[in-house]
Structure formats: C-alpha cells, structure tokens
Structure 1
Amino acid sequence: MVEIIRMGGLELHFMQSREGTGAEIDLFEMTVQPQARMPVPHYHESWDETVYGLSGTVTFTVDGADVPLGPGESLFIRRGVVHGFRNDGPGVARCLCLLSPGALGPAYFREIAALLTEQPPDRAAMEEVMRRYGLVPVMAA
C-alpha cells in the first residue's frame, strides 16, 4: 500500500520503506509544486540517494552546483555530499527517489510534515528531527 505524505509544496508517495525491505531501500515518488523547494540543504552520513526524473524539471544543488533533472535523467548523490532541490519552473515536477540502504522510512517525513503546519515552522525542531534521523542540516553562510 502506498502512503502519501504532503509537506507544503511537496508530496511523497512512499512505495517501499526500510520497514518492509529489511532496511535495504526506501523508494518514493516525489511531486514538487512550482516554486517549491526543500526547506534545509543537508547531507546524509549513512546512505546514498539516487533520483530519476519523471516529469517537469527539478533543479538539485549538489555540492554547490545546480543540476537540472528532467524526464529520463538520473542523478546519484553520494553520502556526505550537501544537496537540496527546488522547482523553478511554471509546472509540477515529479521524480523517483531511492535511498540505499533504507534509512528513513515515512516516519521522518511525517514528523517534518507536522512541523511544517506551524507558521512559521520551528527551524530548531526541524533540525533536531533531521539529526535524529541521520540528516545533517547545512545552514547557508
């Protein structure tokens, strides 16, 4: 069963999670609304991320360089590399995200989604959740 998690301008459709794969992978489809972005650039200490473009264009910033990802294109983000993403386009963009090994599951995203309902969101609480799940936030200089 697919679990859908909405977080501001992002929507995740979780297809596989660490709980069901013996912590081998997390797999989810991400929909990014126009002008939406990830709230905090970060890196992962213990897993890699592979992203495959399905529709529209999501621009990833990986190690300081912008990498537009369109349909049929893929991007590998090695653990330890700072990254973020945004949708600069006028239309919705979708991509498939694979985390290996599986480390997050939907629980992390549920907690972040709950924090994003507060206005303004509690940045310190978001950073605490990120660190607890193995994401290391990197604040802009």
Structure 2
Amino acid sequence: MNFEDTVQICMKKYPKLFLDRWEVLNYLFCSLHCDHRWTNGELVGEIQTSYYQSIPLYGEQIVELNRFREKLWQRPYYFYPLGRSYSNLFNFPKTIQSDWLEGIIETIEFILKNIDPWEDVYMEIPKAQLESHHRACLNILKAYSIE
C-alpha cells in the first residue's frame, strides 16, 4: 500500500490514537513499538491495539484530546526519542519506494522544525546527525528522480 493511503487509513481507523498526520508519522518512523515492517520497500502491518474505533471523533472530542496532550506534553505533539537501532526513520531498505522515502523526509523536517534544544539531549541521534540523515535522504530521492 502506498504511503499516503497508509497515513489516511491509520487516522480513520484509530482516531483516538492518531489525531493528526504527525502522530502517524511519529508512529511509523520513530516509535520503538511500530507494528509495521519493511516489505518490498513499504511499511506493512496491522496496528495491535484496542484503540480501533469505527466512529470518527468530532469537534469537542478532538479539542478535549488536544487539551489533554498539551497538558501532558506542554505542546500538541510528542516526539518519540529517536534511536538508530530501532527507528524506521533510519532502518529503511535500499529498495525503499519513493513515496515512503518522501514520508521519512517529511518526518525529519517536522522534527527539525519543532524540536526544542533540550530534546536533543534525550535522543540517541543528535540534531546534527538528523540534519545529515535528512541530506542523505534527499540525495537518495534525487537519485530516484534521475533514474
């Protein structure tokens, strides 16, 4: 399944778990507990959780969950501490599909744009290494467009 469809399905099937696009990206590419695995250049899997909900969230429910998150994390989003050994952000196959690589690039750009300086300390990957990985991913994507 392509990257964009995977993001949309996660948000529709698990609205309490994934209120927005960032949370899906964080889960797929950063989380230690991601149930998806690389297969033929794409992340494939089923989410093992009881958060499945067939009824979408509306208005006040979303506002209330956002308030809860801001209270919990002091902002509306959370960064899973990046680790080179477990993160799909770093452990993607050489045969990665270009749309999935674009998803990785989008994730890195979100982190770089929103990371606080003190968070760098809590990640296995310092900001400078993340910036270097971003450049490497952009170069791989550029090579795909040349082929």
Q: TM-score, normalised by structure 1?
A: 0.24
Larger Cα Rg: Structure 1 or Structure 2?
2
Q: TM-score, normalised by structure 2?
A: 0.24
